[in-house]
Structure 1
Amino acid sequence: MDNRFKIRKMQREDIDEVYEIELLSFSTPWSKESLYYELEQNLFAKYLVVECEEKVIAYCGLWVIMDDAQITNIAVHPDFRGMKIGEGLLTFSLQLSKEMGAKRLSLEVRVSNHIAQSLYTKLGFEAGGIRKRYYTDNQEDALVMWVNLG
């Protein structure tokens, strides 16, 4: 990720742009209300955005509960995919989780999403199991992936 891109904490004003990315990225997107709740009321949640020329182009949601962290969602605007933005944001999220005391981090990914799985594997994640019929839109299984941060 080059220096045109800046990672920072998500703010309330970012939610419209984050929601747009959510709609463009997922068949069952989170609602704006869910994003507001996560940002303002969930004490375990940390949300980050990537900004380019004052526009939000990617985001990542993270829960850190004691020594466990979980990526809740991560997405890059389609116009900016393939530029290593997701990799930079995920690497930053791994470091933040570690700094917050997490010993391991997990996420779920569609079994058909080989591009994302490849990125996760590159960053040290390993397959840990399957959640059957996890995705409500088509009943697709989720692959659970873990990485140790210690």
Structure 2
Amino acid sequence: MDFKISKINHEDLDDLMEVNNLSFNIPWSKESFEAEINNKLAHYFVAHVDDKAIGFGGMWLIIDEGHITNIAVHPDYRGSSIGDSILKTMLDYCISKNITAITLEVRASNTIAQNLYTKHGFVTEGIRKKYYEDNSEDAILMWRRW
């Protein structure tokens, strides 16, 4: 499958809202995404097939550390290495910006995402008990350091 990854822009928002709403139990609002586009600490990358945004990944970079806020791929395109490519793009961007470590939280039940992060050098370093508001599920805290 041919897809391209680029920085987010306002034209992507409607497509990203669809991906967001299909991917998360507590999806972000369109206003939250608009705020992230204007946030100087936030960096978002979008996967496109033709002119449609079908996946995204976002992170905040603060001094020399990063925090992944979310990664999602439209259900129709999962299993096509798109999430893997988005994450790789994000990590390469971190390296180019001299980021020395990056962290994230992932649902304890989301083993597919945990396996993706492990594949890219993240290690589990803790648990945030009852982190998720919708069901009080624990979050696995993962880090990657260079």
Q: Please tell me the TM-score bracket, short chain as reference.
A: over 0.9
Match 1:11 to one of 3, 9, 12: 9
What is the distance in 2 between the residues matched to 1:138 and 1:11?
32
What is the distance in 2 between the residues matched to 1:52 and 1:12?
17
Matches within 5 A, 1:1-150: 4-40=2-38, 42-148=39-145, 150=146
What is the distance in 2 between the residues matched to 1:92 and 1:48?
8
Give 1:46 shift.
0.6
What is the identity, as a one-letter code, of the residue corresponding to 2:50? E
1:42-77, Cα deviation, whole Å (9 max, x unpaired): 110011100011110100111100110011010000
Give 1:38 shift.
0.6
Give 1:101 shift.
1.7
The normalised TM-score by structure 1 is: 0.95
Q: What are the ranges of 5 or more consecutive residues in structure 2 without an aligned counterpart?
A: none
What is the distance in 2 between the residues matched to 1:47 and 1:100?
14
Q: What are the ranges of 5 or more consecutive residues in structure 1 without an aligned counterpart?
A: none
What is the distance in 2 between the residues matched to 1:65 and 1:101?
11
Question: Does the Cα contact within 8 Å between 1:72 and 1:107 map onto a contact in 2?
Answer: yes
The normalised TM-score by structure 2 is: 0.97
Question: Does the Cα contact within 8 Å between 1:49 and 1:60 map onto a contact in 2?
Answer: yes
The list of structure 1 runs, each at least 4 consecutive aligned residues, that deviate by more than 3 angstroms after superposition, is none
Alpha-carbon RMSD across the aligned residues, in angstroms, is: 0.8
What is the identity, as a one-letter code, of the residue corresponding to 2:31? E
